[in-house]
């Protein structure tokens, strides 16, 4: 049985993997990046080497080094560091899980293998179980992202009886818009202390209503502070301000989604907002276009997401 750490709560930034102009990992900015998340965004949990971190585009050795650097630079600053260790090869996934345990990570997460795919719940659980067993002291999270993996096994079904198979199972990162499935995950596991982490940033408020205990996402890198305001409003049951905050966030995400929004664009936006160079993505991704960056910048400015004056949060109607 895993030692029960404190439950993962609140916002978790899905970290970007900074790269140099030559496409190598730029470890030198990770210390600054930690400080930026904690001090400027109020975000103290991270999810490393996931979708946003291009984890599946890195070599195993790079993934180990990235995880180590976040652990080192995050020490005494971050609350929790969860490492995504999913891979197509069970062996690689187990190696990364063991490594995460060695470096003192707070948890591991795994996506469904997405080339030769599990065709039913039992087959998927069996794979996850083998990975979890390689790090028997670490909390284990299943990362449900059917649109990218193509594995559409419902999370609610997967969770049924999962603790008997995977004793370290501690929660779910749910990156899908099916709130029936998400709600049933919560409803059917009320007596268990699972973390239900929602992964569609533009719909987080609806997931909070369904019982989400936290959120993992790419936009918390640069809209963490704004999203924290929404979480605070929700906590104090001020649903009309919570909704105003969600609408502000939606206006931005809706705008960039229409332009084409993915990991490359996230890298460009984070560079713009934080001033820390995230560099280009790794092929097959390609860097965001100049036009995208200019339009995103204008949108951020008009919503007051890019000014140094975002301390004034008295006016709940505005986005500042
Ligand atoms: C597919 C993907 O990367 N999803 C991210 C996390 O799961 C989200 O944080 C989105 O980037 C965000 O919700 C914008 O659509
Ligand atoms: C968003 C997220 O959770 C990821 O990048 O993996």
Burial group, residue 214, by CB count within 10 angstroms (0-12, 13-18, 19+): buried
Q: Which residues span the domain enclosing 24?
A: 10-238
Structure tokens at 233: 């409003």
The verdict on residue 43 lying in a domain is yes
- Closest ligand 2 atom, CA of 201? 1
Q: Could you report the average pLDDT of every consecutive run of 10 residues in the chain (320 residues)? A: 70 98 97 98 98 98 98 98 98 98 98 97 98 98 97 98 97 98 97 96 98 98 98 98 98 97 98 98 98 96 76 49
- Pick from 69, 9, 85, 21: which is nearest to 287 by CA? 21
DSSP symbol at 287: P
The verdict on residue 297 lying in a domain is no
pLDDT of amino acid 5 = 66
- Closest ligand 1 atom, CA of 219? 9
- Closest ligand 2 atom, CA of 55? 6
pTM of the model: 0.95
pLDDT of amino acid 312 = 44
Ligand nearest to C-alpha 175: 1
Residue 51: CB within 6 Å of ligand 2?
Answer: yes
197 close to 212: Cβ distance less than 8 angstroms: yes
The verdict on residue 244 lying in a domain is no
The verdict on residue 139 lying in a domain is yes
ipTM at complex level: 0.95
CA separation, residue 267 to residues 218, 252, 257, 278 (Å): 10, 16, 14, 6
How many Å lie between the centroid of ligand 2 and the Cα of residue 81?
13
How many Å lie between the centroid of ligand 2 and the Cα of residue 4?
24
Structure tokens at 143: 């990362």
Residue ranges of the annotated binding site for pyruvate are 52, 216
Q: How far is CA 81 from the centre of its chain?
A: 11
Residue ranges of the annotated binding site are 52, 216
The verdict on residue 32 lying in a domain is yes
How many Å lie between the centroid of ligand 1 and the Cα of residue 188?
25
Chain segment 18-50, per-residue pLDDT in tens: 999 999 999 999 999 999 999 999 999 999 999
The verdict on residue 314 lying in a domain is no
> Could you give phi then psi for residue 102, rounded to 5 degrees?
-60, -40
pLDDT of amino acid 36 = 98
User: In this structure, how many other beta carbons lie within 10 angstroms of the beta carbon of residue 148?
Assistant: 13
Which residues are catalytically annotated? Answer: 143, 173
pLDDT of amino acid 6 = 82
Prior bond to 284 cis, omega within 30?
yes
The verdict on residue 149 lying in a domain is yes
Q: Which residues pair with 11 in a beta bridge?
A: 215
207 close to 215: Cβ distance less than 8 angstroms: yes
CATH number where 78 lies: 3.20.20.70
| Domain count along the chain | 1
Residue 14: CB within 6 Å of ligand 2?
Answer: yes
Residue 201: CB within 6 Å of ligand 1?
Answer: yes
Residue to mutate (ligand 1; options 143, 150, 175, 220; most atoms within 8 A of CB)? 175
How many Å lie between the centroid of ligand 2 and the Cα of residue 48?
8
pLDDT of amino acid 320 = 59
The verdict on residue 266 lying in a domain is no
* Sign, CA torsion 56/58/63/69: negative
User: In this structure, how many other beta carbons lie within 10 angstroms of the beta carbon of residue 5?
Assistant: 14
């Amino acid at each position: 049985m895993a030692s029960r750490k404190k439950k993962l709560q609140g916002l978790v930034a899905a970290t970007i993997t900074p790269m140099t102009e030559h496409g190598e990992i730029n470890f030198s900015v990770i210390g600054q990046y930690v400080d930026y998340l904690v001090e400027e965004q109020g975000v103290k949990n991270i999810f490393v080497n996931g979708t946003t971190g291009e984890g599946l585009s890195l070599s195993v050795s790079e993934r180990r080094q990235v995880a180590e650097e976040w652990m080192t630079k995050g020490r005494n600053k971050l609350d929790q560091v969860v490492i995504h260790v999913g891979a197509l090869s069970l062996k690689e996934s187990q190696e990364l899980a063991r490594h995460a345990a060695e470096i003192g990570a707070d948890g591991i997460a795994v996506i469904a293998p997405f080339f030769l795919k599990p065709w039913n719940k039992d087959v998927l659980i069996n794979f996850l179980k083998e990975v979890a067993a390689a790090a028997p002291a670490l909390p284990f999270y299943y990362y449900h992202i059917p649109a990218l993996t193509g594995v559409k096994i419902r999370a609610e079904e997967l969770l049924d009886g999962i603790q008997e198979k995977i004793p370290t199972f501690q929660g779910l990162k749910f990156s899908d818009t099916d709130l029936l499935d998400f709600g049933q995950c919560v409803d059917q596991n009320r007596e268990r202390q699972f973390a239900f982490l929602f992964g569609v940033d533009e719909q987080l408020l609806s997931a909070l209503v369904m019982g989400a205990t936290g959120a993992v996402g790419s936009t918390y890198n640069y809209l963490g502070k704004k999203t924290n305001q929404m979480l605070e409003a929700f906590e104090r049951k001020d649903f009309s301000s919570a909704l105003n905050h969600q609408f502000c966030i939606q206006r931005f995400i809706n705008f960039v989604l229409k332009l084409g929004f993915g990991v490359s664009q996230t890298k460009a936006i984070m560079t713009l907002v934080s001033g820390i160079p995230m560099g280009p993505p790794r092929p097959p991704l390609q860097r965001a276009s100049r036009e995208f960056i200019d339009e995103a910048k204008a949108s951020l400015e008009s919503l007051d997401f890019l000014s140094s004056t975002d301390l004034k949060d008295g006016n709940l109607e505005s986005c500042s």
